[in-house]
Structure 1
Amino acid sequence: MPQWLHQLGDIIEGALPKILAGRTDVVEKPDGSLVTAGDLYVESLVEEAMAEHLPDAILLSEERILPAQRLDDGLFVIVDPIDGTENFAAGLKEWGTGISVWDHGTHLGSMLLMPELSERLVTGDGIPKLHSRITGLSSTIDDNVREALEADGEFRIIGCAVYNLYNVVRGAYTRFLNPRGAYVWDLLPGIMLAAEHGCDIEINGEAFNGGYLDPARRHRVDIRHRYDLHPG
């Protein structure tokens, strides 16, 4: 599966000019969030790759919500085609694609991809030996985020879960905190890579057990990098 994910990453990166051409074709959805032609194009690239290599898999994404479907009941490709759509539509480079593949509740592989930054992390890849004091925070400001910002420390609010998760996994962030919660397509690729690299992970206030997450609800996340496992 990691090989297929790398191949898919190559396809998406190779299509970057066409993806970027869709960043100004924007529609506001009923919930106020944005979707662009770039989002839909990346999702179509994933669908084409699935049709060739994983024809029996079910696509689960923000645009393909299956609230009654359990992730332990089939072969799933969970996709956030463009995470950080607000950034993407505004012309910022901090956006990414998250993909996680599951077969009847067993994780087969995940990828965090940021094509415009030329950054990628796939199941089985190594990570650098970094050290950081920075905590990444979700971009939705609520009382929990305000409380975190009042503490001493260095903080970054970027507005892209793929970016935040990528950086806490590799140690460029010491911690990533999303107290409001997000959905499986936002989180699961990065959570599984964080688990692979020994991060401490809390989901909804409890230690992550490595299993699937309910796709019908938001999940609060607190991930801390373990520098003792990756000494610099």
Structure 2
Amino acid sequence: MGTHDGIADATLGEMLARAAGEELLRVRRESGLEGKELGNAGDAAAQQVLAAMLAEHRPDDAVLSEEAKDSAARLSADRVWIIDPLDGTREFSEGRADWAVHVALWEKGELTLGVVAIPGEDLVLSSATVAPAPEATEGATLTLAVSRSRPPAVTEPVRAALDAELTPMGSAGVKIAAVVRGQVDAYVHAGGQYEWDSAAPIAIARAAGLHTSRVDGTPLVYNGSDPYLPDLVVCRPALAPRILAAISDYTDGDS
């Protein structure tokens, strides 16, 4: 991660996330659209902002985006921006605040930057500046972030193993950010996602000192030829053995 055209990557990442977030708020405020039409308009508008800014400031870098055609050129590139212009389209279109903009930078095999904007809270989190995740409160009931619309089947065995309470919320970025911010203790997903759903928030979670992995405990790897990356675990490091064991017991019993 470095500086190009006088702007550091970390600074550009925040500029990108903020600009897309501001455009999304404008679309929601001014377009007069609702429901699926509003969501589609938001996806397109945020993609346009991010694509234009990356073309201006990082024309030589490759891009992997949910809202743009993929190119095999990124597989031989040293630098790839992995972006989700609007993570949580349903929440955005419903007027909620639990949606996000994801901007990540992958360099030579590793995520080196992640920025997540949560415009509904006027919040931007960056792996370059994030504070260590707060410690658990002694004796407090553990909490597990879960999808409000499509909770995966693995949620219940993990909840039971931790004797945890479920906290429904939208965007994957918002859920991972909630672990980073100490609002919940863990987020486990096994229902299908893509690299752009998790790259930026995972980079932030790692910088905050949290455990991040696939549900089988193996590392999350980005810029693969197939961007499908269907499962993840994000939690305080002390909880990881219990969570991974609960998932293993569940999947062993299911096979």
Q: Indicate the TM-score class for this superposition, using the shorter chain for normalisation.
A: 0.7 to 0.9
Q: 1:16 Cα shift?
A: 4.7
In the alignment, which residue of structure 1 is the partner of 2:114?
Answer: 110
Q: For the residues of structure 2 that align with 1:41 and 1:102, how far apart are their CA atoms? A: 24
Per the TM alignment, residue 66 of structure 1 is displaced from its structure 2 partner at its CA by 2.5
The runs of 5 or more residues in structure 2 that have no matched partner are 1-8, 240-255
Q: CA–CA distance in 2 between the matches of 1:224 and 1:146?
A: 16
Match of 1:205 in 2: 216
Change (3 A) 1:42 1:157: same
Which structure: greater strand fraction? 1
Superposed displacement of residue 45, structure 1 = 0.9
Equivalent residue pairs, number = 222
Tell me if the contact between 1:130 and 1:172 (Cα under 8 Å) persists in the aligned partners. no
Match of 1:134 among 143, 152, 163: 143
Alpha-carbon distance in structure 1 between the residues aligned to 2:177 and 2:32: 22
Distance in 1 (CA, whole Å) between partners of 2:203 and 2:50 is: 19
Higher-Rg structure is 2
**What SS does the corresponding residue of 1:140 show, helix, strand or coil?**
coil
Q: Structure 1 or 2: larger helix share?
A: 2
CA contact (8 A) 2:74 2:80 kept: no
Distance verdict in 2 for CA 1:92–1:75, change over 3 Å: same
Query: Identical aligned pairs, as a percentage?
Result: 23
Residue by residue over 1:39-98, the C-alpha shift from the partner in whole angstroms, topping out at 9 and shown as x without a partner, is 111111111111221011222112225375665634221111111101111111111001
What CA deviation, in whole Å up to 9, does each residue of 1:176-195 have, x standing for no partner?
11022311000111111111
CA distance in 2, matches of 1:158, 1:218: 20
RMSD between aligned residues: 2.8
SS in 2 for 1:77: strand
Counterpart of 2:33, as a letter, is T
**Could you tell me the TM-score, scaled by structure 2's length?**
0.75
Kindly indicate whether the alpha-carbon contact (under 8 Å) linking 1:72 and 1:106 is maintained by their aligned counterparts in 2: no
Q: CA deviation at 1:149?
A: 4.7
The answer on 1:45 being equivalent to 2:56 is no
1:221 aligns with 2:232: yes
